[in-house]
Amino acid sequence: MTESLIIAIDGSAGSGKSTLAAALAERLGLATLDTGSTYRAMTAAVLHEDLDPANNAATAAFAQAAAIDDLDGTVINAVNYSDELRTAEVNSAVSLVAANPLVRQVLVSWQRSWVALRRGGVVEGRDIGTVVFPDATVKVFLTARSSERARRRPEEGLASIERRDELDSKRESSPLARAEDAMEIDTTDRPVSDIVDLVVASIPKQIHRA
Ligand code: DC
């Protein structure tokens, strides 16, 4: 059996994960999964249901019973949250929902099934190389200067980005962290094509699809 090609991309908000994931997916003919959107959609659904995102038990019970679509995880219980993923309300509540270990259990299991169904993929998030796919083919950990990260997320602003990064890095359950065997790349002044070349070059020959 051939090994699935899984590229794990982790990093803080605005570090360039989505841009790199899209470019890599195109080069390698793989599908991409933005796991941040799954946490955002779950948060939007929790708010939509008038649940308090700080109420861990209620939020976990909701997540455990939720029907999540198998396309990108943004349709929950038949309600499409794709237009609400980046509202100020979701930005301010998502780190709270993502810190809930039972919610993470539900979404991590969904994320693993998503990849299994496609026999591989480019997956971006905060804990992909450390928790979701510790055996990923290649692990990348992206960083970028704060000013550049804020420039990439003008609708959110630096204060909100830094607040989320702080919460996401300090939480107990699967915090944002670089896997020991991840390549760390600063994307601040680096063309995407350079980074794609670097990542593709690190794929072991026997599972190279480019
Ligand atoms: O990538 P993003 O900024 O859209 O992610 C939104 C939030 O989801 C982020 O603040 C933390 C959480 N998240 C997470 O905890 N684990 C992941 N694998 C992806 C995102």
- Give the pLDDT score at 65: 98
Q: How far is the CA of 208 from the centre of ligand 1 (A)?
A: 29
pTM comes to 0.95
- Give the pLDDT score at 63: 98
Q: Which ranges of the chain does DSSP label H, i.e. alpha helix? A: 17-28, 35-48, 56-65, 88-98, 101-118, 146-152, 158-170, 192-201
φ, ψ of residue 122 in degrees (nearest 5) = -105, 115
- Give the pLDDT score at 208: 56
Residue whose CA is at the smallest distance from ligand 1 atom 4: 36
Q: Which residues line ligand 1 (CB under 6 A)?
A: 13, 35-36, 39-40, 94-95, 98, 125-128, 164, 168
Residue whose CA is at the smallest distance from ligand 1 atom 15: 98
- Nearest Cα to Cα of residue 133 among 142, 120, 147, 144: 120
Low-confidence ranges of the chain (pLDDT < 50): 1, 210
Q: How far is the CA of 1 from the centre of ligand 1 (A)?
A: 33
CATH architecture observed for domain 5-201:
3-Layer(aba) Sandwich (3.40)
φ, ψ of residue 6 in degrees (nearest 5) = -125, 120
End-to-end CA distance of the chain: 19
- Give the pLDDT score at 3: 75
Contact 51, 60 (CB under 8 A): no
